Each structure stands twice: as structure tokens, then as C-alpha cells.
Amino acid sequence: MSGKELEYIKQAFESNYIAPVGEFIDKFEEAVKNYVKIESALAVINGTSAIHLALRVLGIDEGDKVLASTFTFIGSATPILYQKAKPIFIDSDESWNIDPNLVEDAAKKEKPKALIVTHLYGQMAKIEQLRYLADKYGFYLIEDAAEALGAAYKNRQSGTFGDFGVYSFNGNKILTTSSGGVLASNNKEWIEKAKFLSTQAKETFLWYEHKEVGYNYRMSNILAAIGVAQMEVIDERVKRKREIFNAYKKKLSDVADFMPEIEKSRGNRWLTTLTFKDKEPLSVLKYLKKYGIESRPLWKPMHMQPVFKNAKAYVNGRSEELFKKGLCLPSGTQIKDKQIEFIINKVRECWISTEF
């Protein structure tokens, strides 16, 4: 937390707006809009619901093909199944993010309606190429920037290149409302439609009238109050995340390769992620755990997940390799420099410890 949250929550309580309406929702949406520089934003209960709304608004329906990053968190892809559409997973390239060449192969063969691209671990995917492919092959582009608020390509923020951008404010993200999400777009009408769907698709009658299936996806004013306070510290959070990443990289580059950043981009370095040159990540994870240090494996690719066993995939082995070799190190912005030193020392010990 930044320090201002309780003050704003108190104001929300005093206004008695503790429902999914109230001035903090407007302020939070305004803050996100102004920060990323986009026309319209909608605050919702989480990033997953924002992706679902994007698919609904774009008319993605039963049987439609949707390309998606395979190397991602599952919340990026399950909304495709909510719509009974068909996910087609696309592997990564050397950037760890989606491979535009494989996207083009799939676009030619599959005639997809949309692509959901994840900006993985806060680093920008090759968004300019993907925008070009979306226009060339006529599919919608949804940017899953759940992990990437504050990341930019050519000084333009993640989530603003696509037809829709999605940000998560889950507890583990660079900013958090405990649980929350934002759907953003330069198309105001689409955001209006998403707002309608997120509030049970209630028609503008004096009574409760519903012609379409909607959802209860709108963010509460209390959580939005937290979000307003959080948005005030986004720049310092990105700065600190990048310092943490650089501190690890400086001292561990001989034993590990770190997630790259594509040219002309600046990631938010949400998590410091690396692959070990000659060590099993799970053995390092277990060693660190003994010292109270929590590390995590990289995302297991979606095409390897049993829940997606029937989905088609365009793969090249890259994400499977990353999953086998990679680890996320503690990256919370509250971490002290001394703690980073301690973690680095413990990681290095893995190379001299007799337990291996």
C-alpha cells in the first residue's frame, strides 16, 4: 500500500457509496485513462472479467477461433472457453513473448477472429508487428497487459495499441486494489457496451428489464478508492521494480539468463525472471525455501495444461524450455536491498552446496 488508501476508503465510507457506484470509480477510471493515455476505461472486479467483456463486446462466440499466447497465466485464456470459442495457442520467440511469425502462420491457416497477446511479466511483446498483422489479416487485437501496467513501447503504454487493453489490479500486481481490473479502449462505444454487460445488462427502463445475458463484474467504490491511491505511486513502483531486476542481474548474470526487453521498449519488470544455465530451477526453489525465500516456477504453457488438451497449438519448443529452466525471484517493491543481497547469496550457494 502507498499510505493514502485508508484515507480514501474513509472518504468512500463517509459518502456511503460502498457499492459498485460512486466517485472513486470515476476517479480511478480517470487516473488509469490519463496515465496510459486512452479514451475510455472501465473498472471491473478483475483482469479475467475484463478479458471476458472484451470478447463479448467483439462478438466472439461459439466456435470462433481466438489466437492466444501459450506462455501466460490461465486468466488470459479461460475467457475464450467462457464464450465457447476455440483457443489456438501460439509459442514464444527469443523475447519470451508471443512469436509474430507463428502468429502470421496461424492467421493464414486459421482465419481467427481475435488475438489475445500477453505482455509477459511486464515486458512488451512485439506489439507493432502484431498490430500490423491484426490489420493485415483482419482480426481483433486484445492486449493482456494484466502484468504490464507502466510498460511502454516507443513511449506508448501497454494496452493502448490493441482494440482493447486489459490491466489487472490483483494482490500480486505492480499496483493492487486487492482484486480488480480495468478494461480500456479508444472506442468509447465499446467501453459503454462493456459497462452495460458488466452491470447485468440492465436496460434503461424504470423497472428491471433485461434482453441480454450480462454479468456482475463492476468494481466496488471501496476498491476503487484503493486504486486511486495506488495510481499515485505507479512511477515509483516501476522505478523500484527495475532497480530490483537490475540488482539481481548484476550479480547473477554468470549463472542465469534474464528475461530480455525488446528494443525501444521499457518493461515494468513486474517479476524478475530468469533461466538457469545449468541448474534445475526446482532444486534452486527448494534450496531457497529452506531459508524462507519464496520463488516460483515460470508459467506452465497453456498448451501443456490438461484443461486445454483439445486446443490446437503452434509451437516451437521455446515456452516448454523456459518452463523447464526458469524461475521467478522475489520482486515485491517492499523488499530491502539487504534482502536482495541475501537472496543473491543463497542462489549463488546452490552452485557450491554439496546438497546438489
Ligand X SMILES: Cc1ncc(COP(=O)(O)O)c(C=O)c1O
Chain residues binding ligand X by CB under 6 A are 46-48, 72-73, 75-76, 118, 144, 146-147, 168, 170, 181
- Smallest gap from Cβ 278 to ligand X, in A, equals 29
Instruction: Between 100 and 181, name the residue whose CB sits nearer to ligand X.
Output: 181
- Smallest gap from Cβ 328 to ligand X, in A, equals 12
Helical pair 337-349 and 234-252, crossing angle rounded to 10 deg: 30
Instruction: Between 40 and 46, name the residue whose CB sits nearer to ligand X.
Output: 46
Instruction: Between 107 and 146, name the residue whose CB sits nearer to ligand X.
Output: 146
Instruction: Between 75 and 162, name the residue whose CB sits nearer to ligand X.
Output: 75
**Residue listed under C-alpha cell 498448451:** 303
**Residue listed under C-alpha cell 500500500:** 1
- Smallest gap from Cβ 28 to ligand X, in A, equals 15
Instruction: Between 313 and 350, name the residue whose CB sits nearer to ligand X.
Output: 313
- Smallest gap from Cβ 44 to ligand X, in A, equals 9
How far is the C-alpha of 172 from the C-alpha of 169, rounded, in Å?
Answer: 8
- Smallest gap from Cβ 41 to ligand X, in A, equals 15
Instruction: Between 24 and 270, name the residue whose CB sits nearer to ligand X.
Output: 270
- Smallest gap from Cβ 120 to ligand X, in A, equals 7
> What region does 138 belong to: left with phi over 0, alpha with psi -120 to 50, or beta?
left
- Smallest gap from Cβ 178 to ligand X, in A, equals 10
Instruction: Between 69 and 346, name the residue whose CB sits nearer to ligand X.
Output: 69
Instruction: Between 93 and 144, name the residue whose CB sits nearer to ligand X.
Output: 144
Closest CA to 93 of 67, 66, 70, 63: 70
- Smallest gap from Cβ 353 to ligand X, in A, equals 32
> What region does 11 belong to: left with phi over 0, alpha with psi -120 to 50, or beta?
alpha
- Smallest gap from Cβ 254 to ligand X, in A, equals 30
- Tell me the CA end-to-end span of the chain in Å, nearest whole number: 39
Instruction: Between 22 and 180, name the residue whose CB sits nearer to ligand X.
Output: 180
